[in-house]
Amino acid sequence: MAIQLAAIVPHPPIILSQIGQGQEREIRATIAAYQEIARRVRGLCPDTLVIISSHATSYVDYFHISPGKKARGDMKRFGAAQLQVSAIYDEEFTLALEKNAKRAGLAAGTRGEREKALDHGTIIPLSFLAERELSCEVVRVGLSGMSAAEHYRLGKCIKITAEELRRDVVVVASGDLSHKLLEDGPYGYHPSGPEFDRLSTQAMADGDFLALMTLDPTLCEEAAECGLGTFWVLAGALDRANVESELLSYEGPFGVSYAVAAFAAEGVNEERAFDMLYQRAERERLNAVRAGEDAFASLARQAVETFVRTGETLPLTDDLAKELLQQRAGVFVSLKIAGKLRGCIGTISPVCANVAEEIVKNAVAACSEDPRFDPVRQDELERITYSVDVLGPTERIDSTEQLDVKRYGVIVVSGYRKGLLLPNLEGVDTVLEQVKIAKRKAGIPESERCRMERFEVVRHT
């Protein structure tokens, strides 16, 4: 008694005929694969269905597990209020899962429910699975902003809970793939979209969960993927198990891609401990990054590690590179973990005697004073990567036509309000996006005219 079957499914509202109004016929392969998953699940008669939804309540640093006895939801926001779905929650499983997560040191539980109603990432799978009645209780789990390893650990807790309670369990990961497949799609096109899909569907077909866990974060962000975190949890639920994997369908005619895949556990395989393999791969990647750091990024790292461990500011020595000691410039120091920002503080123009002092000052501020994040902890230090942007002189411009999102950063000014955005940032693909974000940072309304300046940077990593 444990995980009988795990499945990856999408959740496009258009797949339901009441919403698609005939357009659903363009994703026939997805519908047929979904129906096959439903047939298999109903044939297994599981005790509990665990649905991991990318649209359930989520937090940056916490996995939310839906509490209570039951919940319902509808598709009103998609123009089909008559489409209603109810779920009876497995309270015993939810409570045990919360306890197992706590025992594992994982931030997960039933606190902080923002929306009791079922989300469409849960409603759509249930619409297929319960079409002819699915007499089992449901556990609904959301995602977090934590790493692939943490999502995998949550999946392991699901597996442990199923074994402890002697439940037959089916795990469903509800999430779409890239949203950037077509120029005329709702989210536009990016070449990373089809590449993300190629890599992720190959990993599904092969049952290669490590490949899913080690996808390039920049690629994932550019592809605007939706379901990767749910796939990581599913992988953890199959920890140390041989699996028979099947990619049943893949298509994306509307500019958003949908995959359906099934994974059946077939005995124990200690070599498929993907959390351990992931940690080893991450150590190797981070060691390579550290070995390749230039003097600027290395100084930022030393400054952060010294401050976090001792509370002291890193003293400068005379053996630093000349360009660090002889140049004055504004500097931004950025910290990332697994491709996600962990802190960024900078100065538009120099306030210190040289770039070295500027880096140390801003590195300390980035790890301890960025209001968007908690201060960096010691246990995070080995996972942080650093970049240092040294700003060139600014120049006034008259229009956005003089900007290039890859080459120039932008400064927007209106009265005492000033906002800056660096060039060549992940997920910022157009000048309009760049200016919009800079205005938002400054508290300037998007429609308000403002003075603009541009600048170039030298990025050190």
The secondary element (H helix, E strand) that includes residue 172 is strand 169-174
- Give the integer Cα–Cα distance in Å for 112 and 410: 38
pLDDT band per the 50, 70, 90 thresholds, residue 276: very high
Q: Which residues neighbour 266 within 8 Å (Cβ) at sequence distance 6 or greater?
A: 241, 242, 243, 244
Question: Given pLDDT bands bounded at 50, 70 and 90, which one contains residue 321?
Answer: confident
3-state DSSP assignment of residue 12: coil
Give the pLDDT score at 10.
98
∠ CA 397-403-405, nearest 5°, is 150
Does residue 427 register a pLDDT over 80? no
CA distances from 397 to 157, 269, 350, 454 (A): 55, 62, 21, 7
Q: What is the dihedral of CA 79, 174, 122, 62, to 10 degrees?
A: -120
For every residue of 180-229, which 3-state class applies, written as one string? Answer: CECCCCCCCECCHHHHHHHHHHHHHHHCCHHHHHCCCHHHHHHHCCCCHH
Q: Residue 97 in contact with residue 139, Cβ under 8 Å?
A: yes
Query: Phi then psi for 111, rounded to 5 degrees?
Result: -75, 155
Please state, in angstroms and rounded to a whole number, the distance separating the CA atoms of residues 324 and 177.
Answer: 44
140 — phi, psi (to 5°)? -110, 130
CB-based contact 219:196 (threshold 8 Å) = yes
Question: Which DSSP string do the residues of 142-158 spell out, in sequence order?
Answer: --BSS-HHHHHHHHHHH
Query: CA 59, CA 156: separation in Å to the nearest integer?
Result: 20
| pLDDT reading at 132 higher than 60 | no
pLDDT surpasses 90 at 1: no
Give yes or no for residue 428 having a pLDDT over 90. no
Question: Is residue 157 within 8 Å of 97, Cβ to Cβ?
Answer: yes
pLDDT band at 302 (very low <50, low <70, confident <90, very high): very high
Residue 131 has a pLDDT of: 63
Spatial strand order in the sheet of 451-455: 395-397, 451-455, 409-414, 417-421
Close Cβ partners of 2 (under 8 Å, ≥ 6 residues apart): 159, 162, 163, 167, 168, 169, 265
Residue 156 has pLDDT above 70, yes or no: yes
Using 50, 70 and 90 to split pLDDT, how confident is the model at 458? very high
Q: How many CA atoms lie within 13 A of 64 on its CB side?
A: 19
Model pTM?
Answer: 0.85
Q: In degrees to the nearest 10, what's the CA dihedral of 22, 27, 28, 32?
A: -120
Q: What are phi and psi of 353, to 5 degrees?
A: -70, -25
